[in-house]
A and B are shown apart, each in its own frame.
Chain A
Amino acid sequence: MRVGAFRYSLRSLLREWRAGELQVLALAVVIAVAAVTSVGFFTDRVQRAMLLQATELLGADLAVVSADEISETLSTGATERGLSIARFVTFPSVVLFGDAAQLAELKAVDGGYPLRGRLRVAVEPFGPELEPEGGPGPGEVWAETRLFQQMGFQVGDLLQVGDTELRVTRVLTYEPDRGGDLFQLAPRVMFNLADVPATGLVTPASRVRHQLLVAGDEAAVNDYRSWAADRLAANERIEGVRDARPELRQAIERAEQFLGLAALVAVLLAGGAIAVAARHYSERQSDTSAVMRCLGASRDFVVRVFLLRLLWIAVLSSLAGALAGYGAQTVLTALLGQWFTGGLPGASAWPVFSGLAVGLVTVLGFALPSMLRIGRVPPLRVLRRELGAPPPAMWLVLGLALVTLGVLLLWQAGDARLAGRVLGGAVATGVLLWGVAWAMIWLLKPLRTRGGVALRFGLANLSRRGSLSAVQLSAFGLGIMALLLLALVRVDLLSAWEQNLPEDAPNHFMINVQPEEVEPLRALFESRGLDAPAYYPMVRGRLAYINDRPVNPEDYESARAERLAAREFNLSFGDAPQPDNRIIAGRWWQPGDDLAQWSVEEGLAQTLGIAMGDRLVFRVAGESVEGRVTSLRTVQWDSFNVNFFVLAPPELLAEMPATYITSFRLDAEGDGLLAAAVRQFPSITVLDVRALMEQVRSIMDRATLAVEYVFLFTLLAGVTVLFAAIQATRSVRQRETALLRTLGASRRQVLAGLLSEFLVMGALAGLLAAAGATLIGYVLAAQIFDLPFVVNPWLWIAGIGGGAAGVGFAGWLGARGVLKQPPLFTLRKAA
Chain B
Amino acid sequence: MVSHSNVAARATGTALVEAIGLTKSVQGPGGQLDILKGVDLAVAPAEAVAILGASGSGKSTLLGLLAGLDLPSGGEVRLLSESLGNLEEDARARLRAGQVGFVFQSFQLLPALTALENVMLSLELGGHPGDARKLALEALERVGLKDRVAHYPSQLSGGEQQRVAVARAFAPNPKVLFADEPTGNLDQVTGEQIIRLLFGLKDELGTALVLVTHDVELASRCDRRLFLRDGVLGTQ
Interface of B is mostly: mixed
CA gap between A8 and B121 in the complex, in Å: 9
Asked if A826 lies at the interface with its beta carbon under 8 angstroms from chain B, I say: no
Interface status of B180 (Cβ within 8 A of chain A): yes
Q: A67-95: which residues lie under 8 A (CB-CB) from chain B?
A: none
Contact B98 A296 (CB under 8 A): yes
Question: Which residue of the partner chain A has the closest CB to B104?
Answer: A382
User: A417: CB under 8 A from chain B?
Assistant: no
**B112 with A296: CB separation less than 8 A:** no
Contacting pair A292 B102 (CB below 8 A): no
* Stretch of B63-71, B73-81, B136-144, B221-229 lying at the A interface: B63-71
**CB-based contact B121/A292 at 8 Å:** yes
Q: Is the CB of A288 within 8 A of B93?
A: no
Q: Complex: how many Å from CA A552 to CA B121?
A: 75
A296 to B96, CA, bound (A): 5
Asked whether A12 and B96 contact (CB < 8 A) given A378-B70, A380-B64, the answer is no
A784 in the interface (beta carbon within 8 A) = no
Chain A residues contacting B102 (CB-CB under 8 Å) are: 294-295, 382
The stretch from B12-20, B123-131, B189-197 touching chain A is B123-131
Given the interface contacts A2-B127, A15-B113, A380-B69, does A287 sit within 8 Å of B108 by beta carbon? yes
Given A15-B117, A19-B112, A294-B96, CB of A383 within 8 Å of CB of B64: yes
For A21, the chain B residues whose CB sits under 8 A away are: 112
Q: Which residues of A contact B95 (CB under 8 A)?
A: 296
**Stretch of A222-230, A297-305, A672-680 at the chain-chain interface:** A297-305
Task: State how many angstroms separate the Cβ of A376 from the closest Cβ of chain B.
Answer: 10
- Interface of chain B residues 96 through 150 with chain A (CB within 8 A): 96-98, 100, 102, 104, 106, 108-114, 117, 121-122, 124-129
Most chain A beta-carbon contacts within 10 A, residue among B64, B112, B128, B129: B112
State whether the Cβ of A293 lies closer than 8 Å to any Cβ in chain B.
yes
Bound together, the chains give a CA A18 to CA B113 distance in angstroms of: 10
Is the Cβ of A288 less than 8 Å from the Cβ of B94?
Answer: no
With the chains together, A1 CA to B93 CA distance in Å?
10
B124 touches A8 (CB 8 A): yes
Q: How near does chain A come to B10, taking the closest CB pair, in angstroms? A: 26
Contacting residues, chain B, for A294 (C-beta < 8 A) = 67, 69, 93, 96, 102, 108
Interface membership of A3, Cβ < 8 A: yes
Of chain A, the residue at the smallest CB distance from B110 is: A288
Q: How far is the CA of A288 from the CA of B114 in the complex (A)?
A: 13
B residues in contact with A526, CB < 8 Å: none
User: Which listed residue (A12, A290, A292, A378) contacts B125, Cβ 8 A?
Assistant: A292
Instruction: Report whether B69 and A296 are in contact in the complex, using a CB–CB cutoff of 8 Å.
Output: no
Closest-by-CB residue of B relative to A381 is B69
Residue B5, interface by CB 8 Å: no
Q: B89 on the interface (CB 8 Å rule)? A: yes
The answer to the question of A181 belonging to the interface, with a C-beta cut-off of 8 Å to chain B, is no
**In the complex, residue of chain B having the shortest beta-carbon distance to the beta carbon of A4:** B129
A298→B94 contact, CB < 8 A: yes
A114 is an interface residue with CB less than 8 A from chain B: no
Query: A243 contacts the other chain (Cβ, under 8 Å)?
Result: no
* Interface flag for B90 (CB, 8 Å): yes
Q: Would you give the shortest CB distance from A668 to chain B, in whole angstroms?
A: 73
CA of A288 to CA of B111, assembled, Å = 8
Contact A3–B69 (Cβ < 8 Å): no
Most B C-beta atoms less than 10 A away, residue of A18, A19, A290: A19
Taking a contact as CB atoms closer than 8 A, the residue among A295, A300, A382 that contacts B126 in the complex is A295
Assess the B124–A298 pair: CB atoms within 8 A: no
A702 to chain B, nearest CB (A): 48
Known contacts: A3-B129, A291-B110, A383-B180. The answer to whether A296 contacts B70 by CB under 8 A is no
Q: Give A227 Cβ to nearest chain B Cβ, in Å.
A: 74
A498 on the B face (CB < 8 A):
no
Interface range for A: 20 to 34
**A826 CB → nearest B CB, Å:** 13
A295 vs B118: C-alpha distance in the bound complex, in angstroms? 11
Q: What CA separation (Å) do A659 and B122 show in the bound complex?
A: 93
In the complex, are the beta carbons of B97 and A295 less than 8 A apart?
yes
Contact with B along A1-42 (1 / 0, CB 8 A): 111000010001001101101000000000000000000000
**CB <8 Å contact, A12 and B180:** no
B83 at the interface (CB under 8 A from A): no
Which residues on the B side are within 8 Å of A2 (C-beta)? 97, 124-129
List, in ascending order, chain A residues with CB within 8 A of B127's CB. 2
Known: A295-B96, A296-B126. Contact between A383 and B63, CB under 8 A? yes
A3 with B125, Cβ < 8 A, contacts A291-B110, A379-B93, A380-B70 known: yes
Whether A12 and B112, one on each chain, are in contact in the complex, defined by CB atoms closer than 8 angstroms, is: yes
Cβ–Cβ < 8 Å partners of B108 in chain A: 287, 290-291, 294, 382
B60 within 8 A of A: yes
B124 touches A12 (CB 8 A): no
A424 to B70, CA, bound (A): 46
Contacts of B89 in A (CB 8 A): 293, 299, 379
CA distance A384 to B64 in the complex (A): 9
Contacts of A287 in B (CB 8 A): 108, 110
The distance in angstroms between the C-alpha atoms of A464 and B63, with both chains bound, is: 39
Establish whether residues B113 and A12, one from each chain, have CB atoms under 8 Å apart when the complex forms: yes
With both chains docked as a complex, state the minimum distance between the C-beta of A734 and any C-beta of chain B, in angstroms.
14
Given contacts A15-B113, A291-B108, is CB(A296)–CB(B93) below 8 Å?
A: yes
State which of B97, B109, B113 has its C-beta within 8 Å of the C-beta of A296: B97
Partner of A288, one of B67, B112, B122, B128: B112
Q: Are B129 and A384 in contact (CB under 8 A)?
A: no
Known contacts A295-B122, A382-B102; is-contact A19 B111 (Cβ 8 Å): yes
Q: How far is the CB of A529 from chain B (nearest CB, A)?
A: 88
Q: Which residues of chain B are within 8 angstroms of A19 by Cβ–Cβ distance?
A: 111-112
CB distance from A2 to the nearest CB of B (A): 5
Interface residues of B in 43-59 (CB under 8 A from A): none
| Residues B125 and A382 in contact, CB atoms below 8 Å apart | no
Please pick, from B67, B69, B109, B128, the residue contacting A378 in the complex, using a CB distance under 8 A: B69
Least Cβ–Cβ distance between A285 and chain B, in angstroms: 9
Shortest CB distance B168–A (Å): 8
A-side contacts of B60, CB under 8 Å: 383-384
Residues of A within 8 A of B168 (CB): 295
Cβ-defined contact, B63 with A16, below 8 A:
no
Cβ distance B120 to chain A, nearest Cβ, rounded Å? 9
Interface string of A351-381 (1 = CB under 8 A from B): 0000000000000000000000000001110
Q: Which residues of B contact A384 (CB under 8 A)?
A: 60, 64
CA A548 to CA B94, docked complex, whole Å: 83
Given contacts A287-B108, A382-B102, A383-B63, contact A297 B97 (CB under 8 A): yes
Alpha-carbon distance between A794 and B53 when the two chains are bound, in angstroms: 71
A265-299 Cβ-contact flags toward B at 8 Å (1 or 0): 00000000000000000000001101111111111
CB distance from B204 to the nearest CB of A (A): 21
Measured CA separation A532–B114 after assembly (Å): 92
- Residues of A close to B122: CB separation below 8 A: 295-296
Distance between Cα atoms of A382 and B61 in the complex (Å): 11
Q: Considering the chains assembled together, what is the distance between the CA atoms of A792 and B142 in angstroms?
A: 75
A427 to B223, CA, bound (A): 67
Contacts of A15 in B (CB 8 A): 112-114, 117
Contact B112 A295 (CB under 8 A): no
**Complex Cα gap A174–B119 (Å):** 70
Instruction: Report yes or no: B125 in contact with A297, Cβ–Cβ below 8 A.
Output: yes
Tell me which residues across on chain A come within 8 A of B125, comparing CB atoms. 1-3, 292, 295-297
- Nearest to A299 among chain B residues (CB) is B90
22 example contacts (A-B, Cβ-Cβ < 8 A) are as follows A2-B124, A2-B128, A2-B129, A288-B110, A291-B110, A292-B110, A292-B125, A294-B67, A294-B108, A295-B97, A295-B125, A296-B95, A296-B125, A296-B126, A298-B93, A299-B93, A382-B102, A382-B104, A383-B61, A383-B63, A383-B180, A385-B106
Please list the 6 inter-chain residue pairs (A to B) with the smallest Cβ-Cβ separation, ordered nearest first: A296-B97, A3-B124, A298-B90, A380-B69, A19-B112, A296-B96
**Beyond A19-B112, A295-B168, 16 extra complex contacts between A and B, CB < 8 Å:** A2-B124, A8-B124, A290-B108, A292-B110, A295-B121, A296-B93, A296-B94, A296-B95, A296-B100, A299-B89, A299-B93, A379-B89, A380-B70, A382-B69, A382-B102, A384-B60
